[in-house]
Amino acid sequence: MVYDNIVLIGFMGCGKSSVGKVLARQLHKKFLDVDTIIEAEQNSSIIDIFETKGEAYFRSLEQKCINELTQNTGQVIATGGGVPIHSTISEKSLIIYIDADFDVIVNRLSARERQKRPLFNDESRARALFDQRKNIYKELATFSVDANQTIPTFIHVIVDFILDKRVK
Ligand code: S3P
């Protein structure tokens, strides 16, 4: 199997975007971030899109965005935490699950970072969402990486896995 793209999945705040930037640099690939693209295209923040147009509309934007991005190849794509739940991701993607525990995520997210995430307003609801989703992430992933430590400590585990595979 030759994969088209590397797609990073995982719960809000697990580090998909930060990992993606490092990975893209190390593998000499282009980095793309679904949330950032949606915000730029809509000229609006995720919070505003949720408030004014609703979650269902945001989910349709995500599906459209991931479909468009995976038309191209040789990229590292960071998804929003809901993409694997609400959208289909091209089967030709090498999917990496950034697997961090909920308590680690909570400690990593600053108050400002939480405010940008409408589904993180209420911590106990976020925890319930995490519990609902984690097995779905794991099942969908080509590879899961233990992300409970800092990025420099686990990035090489991802790179080693990818270098053993064929990606366009
Ligand atoms: C969401 C995750 C967010 C963002 C939106 C919804 C989710 O992205 O897409 O707030 O449903 O998990 P991050 O995973 O980058 O926080």
Cβ pair 143, 97 in contact under 8 A: yes
Q: What's residue 90's pLDDT?
A: 98
In the chain, which stretches have pLDDT less than 50?
Answer: none
What is the Å distance from ligand 1's center to 156 Cα? 25
Cβ pair 120, 109 in contact under 8 A: yes
What is the Å distance from ligand 1's center to 74 Cα? 24
Tell me which residues have their CB closer than 6 angstroms to ligand 1.
12-13, 16, 35, 46, 80-82, 117-119
Q: What's residue 16's pLDDT?
A: 98
Q: What's residue 48's pLDDT?
A: 97
What is the Å distance from ligand 1's center to 117 Cα? 6
Q: What's residue 83's pLDDT?
A: 98
| Alpha carbons 122 and 5: distance in angstroms, whole number | 34
Q: What's residue 160's pLDDT?
A: 97
Q: What's residue 162's pLDDT?
A: 97
Q: What's residue 159's pLDDT?
A: 98
| Alpha carbons 156 and 161: distance in angstroms, whole number | 8
The residues, any chain, with a CB within 8 Å of residue 78's CB and separated by 6 or more, are 8, 16, 17, 19, 20, 31, 32, 33, 34, 35
| Alpha carbons 23 and 12: distance in angstroms, whole number | 19
